[in-house]
Structure 1
């Protein structure tokens, strides 16, 4: 099975959408291209498994004057995380790991984690962690790991000093990266706070050790292949069809970011389950429909329905939202009214979220302003693709949701 280019599959009106109102999506986001904020974008909306809106606009490579097309490849960055999380849950379903297992069972470098208490990055005071890092801590970003690009904590500075910011030191594979992260202090005791981090990259290594396969092999055999996601990989299968990467530069002008984008166009030196995949709208649509279908789409079952429902529960301590237990730093979604499940954000209070959606929405996004969500109440999925760093540059995600839900009139 291969993911075919997406087109509107059913009359939007038959699924509760006003077609004229849906057209506002294109009218609004075309302005983003026309005034220079974005080079291009692609948007897809589906309900009950049927695509009701699919559009793209702009140039995937502005300087080369190449148009965005339905099969354009996009760097999805952290939209890789839900895929890697599903991989771990497949192993959980098979009884090969427990969510409560200490990860040191498979990754001995994490046998004696230490937690930062105070001090500078050059002379940190640490103590032995009173709690081991467990599998569920990796899935929920409560492990105490971090990212070098946060610039919010002395441990972040330690990561940067070791060469971990928006990449990894040259020549390091995933196993070596994991050992390096294990040698550095944790930002907090596992299970007590939420800190966006390399946790999903560590989870990818865990998948490798438990399964006995490399992460790319496991994903291909268990998720990408069965779902027909033929253009999703750790390097673009067609660099000529891959959108150029841009970043917000001085004065909020958009500049090319080829140095950051180029690694996705050649074989990966390390397999980042947290942010290394390239995909297409048609491929990722298959993944969202699997989640929306309770683990199954078109007769292909990846997870059990109860596992997907459990994935979409808020697993943060005490049922808190990210505002209560999350560190005030970079994230792909707002914190108010949003909890975190097993690899995805979970809306617990749409009113606090200040965004049109439903309780139980599963979602996440990527650093280059890509995003998806799965709404189990309204049975809607939405995806938006573009290539602009950082994801906080423009309020694309909240605007896209508003434009979709205002068109729902059933």
Structure 2
């Protein structure tokens, strides 16, 4: 299925020569050995104006990149799961203020780490806390303190577990901070994946397929790549081109996993994700298929942190966080162009997307290069915004 209706760049206020310049920069970086390959798609006013594949899909086999290549999208799984949660909210099956322990008893009475040991949480973890990453949970790779070490020792990310197993393990570990008091990127969306399972009665993968991916025509998005499609799977370099050391081993997506990570386990194509992002850009519907109301999308894409501290170096300056996305709050301060209200997220291996409601612009970039992800997030934003002519 094609991503969206198509238009020439000039028909939607974009410049063909400037988009060609973006492609030229990517080809130069590929020729220099900085990334194996990439796919970039740009839509404006609901129409696909640019879609291009560059470089190699698999550098070990010298296979050319194609626009329908399948990528590990890692944390770009989070927006899909967040949309799934908000669909259940719209159905009256959840409230954002609900304590998560109402649905997942393992997290009903969390303890919080202190210098002297642990203390009971002063407030429950809510569904909103999980969506905006103020739950007190963390990621084991974001530090080397006692809580991070406990996560690693518990093998909290192991593939040989179920979503229920992981939540049970998290319930035995202390929180990094009191719920609702600090922003901290975390395994919160893994917990939301389990929440969806409990409330819906379906596995996370089945729910996302029946309620989001299927209705939107996202035919290549899921938690593994079927055998017949493995020849489309994009791979990264074995050696990081910047450090000369071994690159991070990418997620094995060749078999259906026991653990369907709501925070980072999915694969998909640029075309699939563009359809999902365009649905959000159009207020929760795409081509007559409605998943969310416009007001729910507005709520999700608004800042939910206010004065809550702790964004650190994960969120750029001038940004807050909504219910599943980073949200731009300032025209300036950030180091890349954009509009107030732009919302986006990205994946560990270099995939990212953004939605600019002011410019009616949606862009998706796919690559598999963990160490180079920050560089290309900023580069592609600069080059896409440079192509706007109206």
Show the counterpart of 2:279: 290
* CA shift in 2, pair 1:360/1:343, >3 Å: same
* CA shift in 2, pair 1:212/1:49, >3 Å: same
- Does the aligned pair in 2 maintain the 1:21–1:407 contact within 8 Å? yes
CA distance in 2, matches of 1:304, 1:176: 33
* Residue 50 (1) aligns with residue 47 (2): yes
TM-score by length of 1: 0.91
CA distance in 2, matches of 1:284, 1:66: 23
Match of 1:406 among 378, 386, 390: 386
- Cα offset, 1:354, TM superposition: 2.1
* Residue 144 (1) aligns with residue 125 (2): no
Show the counterpart of 2:217: 228
In structure 1, the gaps of 5 or more residues are 120-124
Show the counterpart of 1:260: 250
1:152-231 alignment runs, 5 A limit: 152-164=144-156, 167-168=157-158, 171-231=160-220
Match of 2:360 among 363, 366, 379: 379
State the number of aligned residues: 388
Show the counterpart of 2:295: 306
1:47-196 alignment runs, 5 A limit: 47-118=44-115, 125-164=117-156, 167-168=157-158, 171-196=160-185
* CA shift in 2, pair 1:7/1:253, >3 Å: farther
CA RMSD across the alignment: 1.7
* CA shift in 2, pair 1:285/1:93, >3 Å: same
In structure 2, the gaps of 5 or more residues are none
Show the counterpart of 1:122: none
1:237-256 alignment runs, 5 A limit: 237=226, 238-246=229-237, 249=240, 252-253=243-244, 255=246
Match of 2:377 among 379, 382, 397: 397
Show the counterpart of 1:338: 319
1:269-284 alignment runs, 5 A limit: 269-284=258-273
- Cα offset, 1:8, TM superposition: 8.2
Please state whether the residue corresponding to 1:71 is helix, strand or coil.
coil
* CA shift in 2, pair 1:92/1:83, >3 Å: same
CA distance in 2, matches of 1:207, 1:390: 32
1:114-167 Cα deviation digits (max 9, x unpaired): 111115xxxxx1100001000000000110001111124321111011113xx3
